[in-house]
Amino acid sequence: MFVDYRRPGRSGAGNIILLILLLAGMTSCATVPSVEAPEEFAVYDRTDAFVAVSPEGVRLRVRYEENDPEQDLVFWREALEIHLDRSGYAKLADDTFETPDGEGFWVEWVAPVGQDDWIYLTAIAVHEGQIAIAESAGPFQLYKKYREAIFDSLRSVTRVR
């Protein structure tokens, strides 16, 4: 289901401020999250993020960033959607999800890559002064094959204590 969240009358300056705050809050990685890997995905040993890839190349990346300046989930959702909408992505679906550390939201976007349509998943959860940011992408049919396993992984995201 495609839902258009753009609001008429939003000033260009307001959108620029939202984007600047979004980017400013994502300048340094704070914590590598604990995530259950999707079934069939290989996990890469990284020090800055959780990264897992399917045999066909569908990728899932999860990282934490400082929530600075501190904003709530509503702010981050609006900033993300404005930025990706203006970057040419078309929203396909969205919803909320629960992690052991709290609530998050996800949005699936569709974009052409060469001759194929790709799905790009973005998800954010605010956890005690940090933001868990998850991204997954792949060609439509391959992404669809792993979609439920990816969502299971999203629901497992926690901060390493």
pLDDT mean for each 10 residues of the chain (161 residues): 38 43 46 89 90 97 92 94 93 95 95 92 92 96 97 92 59
pTM equals 0.79
pLDDT at 142: 96
pLDDT at position 28: 47
Domains by residue range for the chain, with CATH: 29-159 (3.40.1000.10)
Helix or strand (DSSP H, E) at 12: helix 12-24
Q: What is the pLDDT of residue 50?
A: 95
What pLDDT, on a 0 to 100 scale, did the predictor assign at position 31? 67
